[in-house]
Amino acid sequence: MARYVKDFSEGDKDQKDLLGGKGANLAEMTRLGLPVPPGFTITTEACRAYMRTGEVPPELRVEVTMAVRHLEDQLGRRLGDFHDPLLVSVRSGAKFSMPGMMETVLNVGLNDASVQGLAELSGDERFAWDSYRRLIQMFGRTVLDIDGDLFSEALDKAKAARGVTADVDLDADDLRTLVGTYKQIVREQSGREFPQHPREQLDMAIVAVFDSWGTERARLYRRKERIPDDLGTAVNVCSMVFGNLGPTSGTGVAFTRDPASGRTGEFGDYLVNAQGEDVVAGIRNTLSLADLEEVDPAAHAELLQAMRRLETHYRDLCDIEFTIERGKLWMLQTRVGKRTAPAAFRIACQLVDEHLITMDEALSRVTGAQLSQLQFPQFAPVDDDSDRVLLTRGMAASPGAAVGMAVFDPATAAQWAADGKDVILVRRETNPDDLGGMIAAVGVLTARGGKTSHAAVVARGMGRTCVVGAEELVIDSEARTMTARGHTVHEGDVIAIDGTSGDVVLGDVPVVPSPVQRYLEDGLDVALAEAPDDETRELVRAVDRILRHADASRRLHVHANADTAEDAARARHLGAQGIGLCRTEHMFLGERRVLVERVVLADDDTERQAALDALLPLQRQDFTDILAAMDGLPTTIRLIDPPLHEFLPDLTDLSVKVALQAERGEVDEHDVTLLAAVRRMHEANPMLGLRGVRLGLVIPGLFDLQIRAVAEAVAARLAAGGDPHAEIMVPLVGSVQELRLVRERAVAIMAEVSAEQGVTVDLPVGCMIELPRAALTADRIAAQAQFFSFGTNDLTQTTWGFSRDDVEGAFFAQYTANGVLSVSPFETLDVKGVGQLVQIAVERGRATRPDLTLGVCGEHGGDPESIRFFDAVGLDYVSCSPFRVPIARLEAGRAAI
Ligand code: PEP
Ligand code: MG
């Protein structure tokens, strides 16, 4: 039984692991009886054996011999034969398509003798010599690693010597001479002769394909596409058929439907008298399939029949490569075709309507990533990019396309926006004080920070276009300019940022709004009424159908992270079934900051209480508004979390201020006292310092104030006839004792408020699980918690010991380049590590309290891959930014089917 080689007639489409995508589909077409040139596939297992040992397994040599002889017998031709030579192509074919990444060698089997045989067989000497020179060129470049330019230059010289410009104008003699030149290039560059023995050519080409799996560009591509490095590639050895044997031959590509729009019909390009690469290279104008019907009706009819069979068989859009050799159709490749995001939704629904697939299958064929692409406005496409000046490229942090005037501080952003101008807030990095400016801006651009930096998280939360970490940018906030690549942008100059690619462009770029987002926010009728054409209407309907099916199928609930009534309402529109995380720290910024400063720095209880009393009605209103927007739905309000220093003046700024005062002899006692307090409370590592529950237990009255505000807001909503479902969540709990203390206060305060207001306020109290210790002691914590919500941002930070604010810009790029990470663990949950803690906490928590409600509210709650994991471990809900709610609905549906 052969281990490493399978004839095309032996496999099928489900063996992609072993045969690679191309090999599996060639086998499937062979099985269907379609005209595939005979051949065989060397399996990925052979490649893996080669990668392990650096040697071709000896059994492979034997199996290749058997397969070649079988092929020769089947076709009645021999490799390297004088008169009637068999030629083969050698092509890579991994499980996941890696277009253009790996090697192909055509015409293997030609040498000084068999080129004569090919001339005889084809009756075309020019063709034979052209095939031979192509072999030496491809072989030299890919197998012998010779600079391809040397061959192209020799070809150009040959054309110049003949005074012609096109390859086809070289005759047989020119090409024979060129073959001599090419062989000389091989000799000089590789120190060896071009191998004349066909089997040596074949063996070397196979090894070159194996080796091409490990090239730098292939590795990079895999990292980007998250394809594992250890899969290896298969090698397809296929008997050659020729599309360049004169006017009755040709080669082409075809799609069973339009991959852009999804429409059924005949789509494809055909090139008469040409070989594979010529079509892609765009050397000559191609014909349409309709034109092919005129040229060769029989081959055209056969092709259409094959296309229909393939589409029926795969029940999906297929793309096909074919060749016609002197009127005979050959199918060279097929695969389920790649498609744009709009086409994916349309095609899925079309196939349902044609009764080819079920709604479950339609749901499985679209992804959250595709839906997310459809949600954003986009830059209008340009035919020629040259007049767009790319200023720089940063990290794509929050998608969309934004055009506006550059401004360099949040106050100007807010002011200009109030004047009706579109602005893009440009900062070295952002901090909570920039929030107002970020809200006012249409887009945010930073020079520093990664995808989970403050700017990125906040922008995503708001659905605001954002590019971060554009490190080339030199921002001078004093002069109000930024400079990169020799261009200087002044405040007020128009720039455009693309949050999907990270591009930062000078000047105005036209933007097209998203009809799908319109549908998600305002419903089907509005979106249909506004859609500019039928295709858009079809797309909107398709998204609606598939999302509704996802909603009906999913087990996971989808909540949103929202901290204003406005965001809450928006999230609800987008399908959120509750608020999974209402962060309260933003409620203490702006004008309220002084009050918080007073709470923190108060010398005595009276002073502190006065500040707390002033904050109470403000907080109560915040919560009342949010509960009104979320009437009837669970609303999880998290007590204040961030490190203390965020509420205090910056240590350096204040030190400078006080030093200057001292110099001028104008000392302000308040500033001096403040500086002393700020120094006292300064932390070297604030993210691991006095934040979350620790802050609540250390600063008297702070949590009490918030709990009271929530309880009073609930009472107010009840009094107004509402149906509030508030829950109180305690952040950064590491020990059950911390939670016990807060819970006891909460119970007491709720009892007080109930008595004062004459209603029963009895809210669930739970905590975030965002420290490894919390996960490991979840059995004990669950005794005090009615629910857990996994804060996977902090849990990732504390499990890996990566600072979520710094790490991505600093070294993640290198970590992904050298393969330590395939994706940022802050983006997609690290299932092996952090995921284990989640699972442990789920099991231990539920063991103590079987009805414990479990959710996740870290950024991962909106990440498609992570959602599958959360579904599998049995969480009740995921919570994500409002914008990602539809994506989470879709992915939760996909996870469930
Ligand atoms: C988390 O840590 O995952 C979380 C949701 O909290 P925050 O991002 O506010 O720290
Ligand atoms: Mg957290």
Mean pLDDT comparison of 100-114, 543-557, 659-673, 689-703, highest-scoring range = 543-557
Crossing angle (nearest 10°) for helices 702-719 and 605-629: 40
- Please state, in angstroms and rounded to a whole number, the distance separating the CA atoms of residues 598 and 613: 12
Residue 808, amino acid = E
Atom 1 in ligand 1: which residue has the minimum CA distance?
A: 791
CB under 8 A, 24+ apart: contacts of 196-201: 196/111, 196/112, 196/113, 197/80, 197/111, 198/79, 198/80, 198/108, 198/109, 198/110, 198/111, 198/114, 199/68, 199/79, 199/80, 201/105, 201/108, 201/109, 201/111, 201/135, 201/139
Task: Say how many Å lie between the CA of residue 630 and the centre of ligand 2.
Answer: 23
Ligand 1 centroid–CA 461 distance in Å is: 12
Closest-lying ligand 1 atom to the alpha carbon of residue 789 = 5
Q: What percent of the chain has pLDDT over 70?
A: 96
**Contact indicator for 571, 886 with CB cutoff of 8 Å:** no
In this predicted structure, the answer to whether residue 286 has a pLDDT above a threshold of 80 is no
Among the listed ranges 81-85, 409-413, 545-549, 879-883, which one has the minimum average pLDDT value? 81-85
794 CB near ligand 1 (under 6 Å): yes
What are 756's two structure tokens?
A: 């004062």
All domains in the chain, ordered by first residue: 45-238 (3.30.1490.20), 250-339 (3.30.470.20), 377-513 (3.50.30.10), 554-643+683-896 (3.20.20.60)
The stretches of 565-664 forming alpha helices (DSSP H) are 565-573, 593-601, 605-629, 651-664
Q: Which of 374, 401, 377, 370 is nearest to 508 (CA)?
A: 401
Q: Tell whether ligand 1 has an atom less than 6 A from the beta carbon of residue 286.
A: no
Residue 70 is among the residues annotated as catalytic for this protein: no
Residue 792 Cβ inside 6 Å of ligand 1? The answer reads yes
SS (H, E, C) 768-801: EECCHHHHHCHHHHCCCCCEEEECHHHHHHHHHC
Does the Cβ of 544 fall within 6 Å of ligand 1?
no
Q: Is residue 511 predicted with pLDDT exceeding 90?
A: no
Ligand nearest to the CA of 460: 1
**Nearest residue by C-alpha to atom 6 in ligand 1:** 791
Return the pLDDT at 46.
96
Ligand located closest to 792 CA: 1
Highest mean pLDDT among 183-197, 279-293, 439-453: 183-197
For residue 685, how far is its CA from the centre of ligand 2 (angstroms)? Answer: 15
Ligand nearest to the CA of 793: 1
Q: Is the CB of 125 under 6 A from ligand 1?
A: no
Q: How remote is the CA of residue 168 from the centroid of ligand 2, in Å?
A: 66
* pLDDT greater than 60 at residue 279: no
Average confidence (pLDDT) over 219-248: 87
Does ligand 1 have an atom closer than 6 angstroms to the CB of 708? no
Average pLDDT over residues 792-804: 95
Averaged pLDDT, 70-99: 90
Alpha carbon 592 to chain centroid, angstroms: 39
In the residue annotation, 857 being an active-site residue is answered as: yes
State residue 101's pLDDT score: 62
Residue nearest to atom 4 of ligand 1 (CA): 791
Round the CA-based radius of gyration of the chain to a whole number and report it: 33
Catalytic hit among 238, 318, 767, 857? 857
285 pLDDT more than 70 = no
Q: State pLDDT tens for residues 456-480.
A: 777 876 768 899 889 899 999 889 9
Cβ of residue 805 lying under 6 Å from some atom of ligand 1: no
Judge if the beta carbon of residue 577 lies within 6 A of ligand 1: no
- Contact status, residue 620 vs residue 716, Cβ threshold 8 Å: yes
Angle of helix 368-375 versus helix 341-353 axis, rounded to 10: 120
Atom of ligand 1 nearest to the CA of 561: 5
CA of 791 to the centre of ligand 1 (A): 5
Which of 754, 748, 824, 760 is CA-nearest to residue 792? Answer: 824
Which residue owns the Cα nearest ligand 1 atom 3? 791
Cα end-to-end distance, the chain, whole Å: 38
- pLDDT band for position 452 (50/70/90)? low
Report the mean per-residue pLDDT for the chain.
91
Q: From the CA of 862, how far away is ligand 1's center (Å)?
A: 13
pLDDT, one tens digit per residue, over 405-427 is 999 999 999 999 989 999 999 99
Q: Does residue 585 line the site of ligand 1, with CB under 6 A? A: no
Ligand approaching nearest to the C-alpha of 791:
1
Q: Please indicate whether residue 857, judged by its CB atom, sits closer than 6 Å to ligand 1.
A: yes
Q: Where do the DSSP E strands lie in 653-809?
A: 725-730, 765-769, 787-790
- Ligand 1 center–CA 816 separation, angstroms: 24
Residues with CB under 5 A from ligand 2 (ion): 770, 791, 794
Q: What is the mean pLDDT of residues 393-407?
A: 88
Q: Whose CA is nearest to atom 8 of ligand 1?
A: 793
**Closest to 64 in 3D by CA, of 1, 12, 106, 4:** 4
Residue to mutate (ligand 1; options 768, 798, 880, 884; most atoms within 8 A of CB): 768
Q: How far is the CA of 753 from the centre of ligand 2 (A)?
A: 29
Q: How many whole angstroms from 791 Cα to the centroid of ligand 2? A: 5
Q: What is the DSSP string of 272-341?
A: ET--HHHHHHT-SPPEEHHHHHHH-HHHHHHHHHHHHHHHHHHTS-EEEEEEEETTEEEEEEEEEPP--H
State phi, psi for 512 to the nearest 5 degrees: -110, 130
> For residue 581, which atom of ligand 1 is closest to its CA?
5
Kindly report, residue by residue over 320-379, the tens digit of the pLDDT. Answer: 999 999 999 999 999 998 787 888 999 999 999 999 999 999 999 999 989 988 998 878
Provide the pLDDT for residue 282: 45
Atom of ligand 1 nearest to the CA of 791: 3
Determine the residue of 693, 795, 857 to mutate for testing ligand 1's pocket, defined as the one with the most ligand atoms within 8 A of the Cβ atom.
857
Q: Which residue in 454, 549, 559, 725 is the catalytic one?
A: 454
What is the DSSP-derived secondary structure letter of residue 382? -
Nearest ligand 1 atom to the CA of 797 is 2
Q: 482 pLDDT exceeds 90?
A: yes
The pLDDT of residue 47 is 96
| Test site for ligand 1: of 453, 563, 583, 733, most ligand atoms within 8 A of the Cβ | 583
Distance 793 CA to ligand 2 centre (A): 6
Give CA–CA dist 123/117, Å, rounded.
Answer: 10
pLDDT band at 208 (very low <50, low <70, confident <90, very high): very high
CA 683 to mean position of chain CA atoms: 36
Whether 583 lines ligand 1, by a CB cut-off of 6 Å, is yes
| Over residues 168-177, mean pLDDT | 91
Q: Whose CA is nearest to atom 10 of ligand 1?
A: 794
Query: Can you read off the two tokens belonging to residue 678?
Result: 């700020």
643 lines ligand 1 (CB under 6 A): no
Mean pLDDT along residues 84-94: 93
CA distance 498 to 658: 43
What is the best residue among 646, 767, 770, 859 to mutate for testing ligand 1's pocket, by most ligand atoms within 8 Å of CB? 770
Q: With contact defined as beta carbons under 8 Å apart, do 891 and 868 qualify?
A: yes
Residue 443 CA, ligand 2 centroid: distance in Å: 25
Q: Which has more pLDDT, 96 or 866?
A: 866
What tokens does 800 get? Answer: 């890996």
Least distant ligand from the CA of 799: 1
The alpha carbon of 711 and the centre of ligand 2 are apart by a number of angstroms equal to: 23
- The verdict on the CB of residue 581 being under 6 Å from ligand 1 is yes
